[in-house]
Amino acid sequence: MIYLDYAATSPMSKSAIDTYVEVANSYFGNTASLHDEGGKAQALIQEARKIIARKLGVNEDGILFTGSGTEGNILAILSLARASNKGKHIITSIAEHTSVHAAMNTLELEGYEITRLNFTEKGIIDLEQLKANIRTDTALISIQHVNSEIGSIQPVEQIAHIAKENNIRYHVDCVQSFCKLSLLSFAKLVDGITVSAHKIGGPKGCGAIYLNPSLLVKPLFPGVTHERGLRGGTLDTPAIAAMAMAVEKFEYSIHDQNQLRNQFKEALDTDICTWVEADLPHQLPSICGLYIKGVEGQLILLKLNESGICISTGSACDINSASGTKAILAMNYSLNEARSFFRVSFGSTTTNEEIEQVANRLNKIMAEENMRKAPFT
């Protein structure tokens, strides 16, 4: 089996698994309990909070643990929007993660007006378009760091400065970029950040958000007692400890990932296969967005799966969408091109041999499809 769907999830690292097992066995107390077992678990949680805060370069008091990146996005966006006294206008992009759109849909039902920006042809936000859509009642901006479908890197530091200049709160979905790119240049400038464990070798069902502790943020469910009253439920101590271990141990080499990407490009028949990507400074190399004109992306996925190769047709959270991926549509590609889209994403253990095998299989599939479509002579 060749696994090239790391943007959807990654296998747990051995160190994260070992940590999970050890903590599950030895730190089973409820972190809210006042006895010694509860205190031991609480101390472990606090250490994990410090590790994640150091990685982000933010105050540990702002780190709150969640059950996923999806929950984190929803919790952060709804909390920040509802706590603002500026108005009920929000700016986001068409190509955000499904969870961001879910939060926006909820706020629309509450009377908020949502402006959803397109991408440029290079897959990034146009800063002038962003500025042009800011209003006196704009309360929140939520624009991702790295797009999960095509890997484009958004100009989040510039957006953070624009938000500050206009006294607008800014939330950034950093699920795809966390531990792969440095967030230090903008983390202290924003009001909310979402991260997740399972993209970096940690457990599924565990994530974290940063909410600026200087802000008075209203809880979604008044009366809950965990995580400063902003999220209910007993904390999953083993998962949180395993996430912290994954953060400390995760390695990502831009150089190595660029080499794999270049090798993949050179091995593919580019006369048939079209890449959907940003320019080099704005591209995470490990996420490759492509399409083959006239061939459904799901067909490519299934044919590769028959050969033991795992890829995707975009975000796993959009698997039931009939319209294709959001990013390519945000770049003004056609609906047919969007339905032809598929994604190949590398991990730290991806090898050159695997890239060659996948490229050869894709070239063969493309040749077979061209033969099938050729008219009889």
**pLDDT the model gives residue 320:** 47
**pLDDT the model gives residue 199:** 97
Per-residue pLDDT tens for 39-93? 999 999 999 999 999 999 999 999 999 999 999 999 999 999 999 989 999 999 9
C-beta separation of 292 from 274 below 8 A: yes
Lowest mean pLDDT among 24-38, 132-146, 174-188: 24-38
**Residue given tokens 């699920």 in the structure block:** 175
Fold of 14-249: Aspartate Aminotransferase; domain 2 (3.40.640)
Mean per-residue pLDDT, 180-189: 96
Q: Is the pLDDT of residue 21 over 60?
A: yes
| DSSP characters over 35-65 | SHHHHHHHHHHHHHHHHHHHHHTS-GGGEEE
pTM for the whole structure: 0.93
At 272 the three-state DSSP class reads coil
Question: Could you tell me the pLDDT band of residue 167, with boundaries at 50, 70 and 90?
Answer: very high
CATH 3.40.640.10 in the chain, residue ranges: 14-249
Mean per-residue pLDDT, 165-194: 97
- Strands 287-292 and 341-345, how do they pair? antiparallel
List residues with catalytic annotation: 317
Distance CA 192, CA 103 (A): 14
Other beta carbons less than 10 A from residue 98's beta carbon:
17
The whole-chain average pLDDT of the chain stands at 92
Other beta carbons less than 10 A from residue 225's beta carbon:
10
CATH 3.90.1150.10 in the chain, residue ranges: 2-8+251-373
User: From 3.30.470.30, 3.90.1150.10, 3.50.50.60, 3.40.50.850, which CATH number describes the 2-8+251-373 domain?
Assistant: 3.90.1150.10
Q: State the burial class of residue 215 (Cβ atoms within 10 Å of its Cβ: 0-12, 13-18, 19+).
A: middle
Mean per-residue pLDDT, 93-102: 96
Per-residue pLDDT tens for 315-343? 555 544 544 579 999 999 999 999 999 99
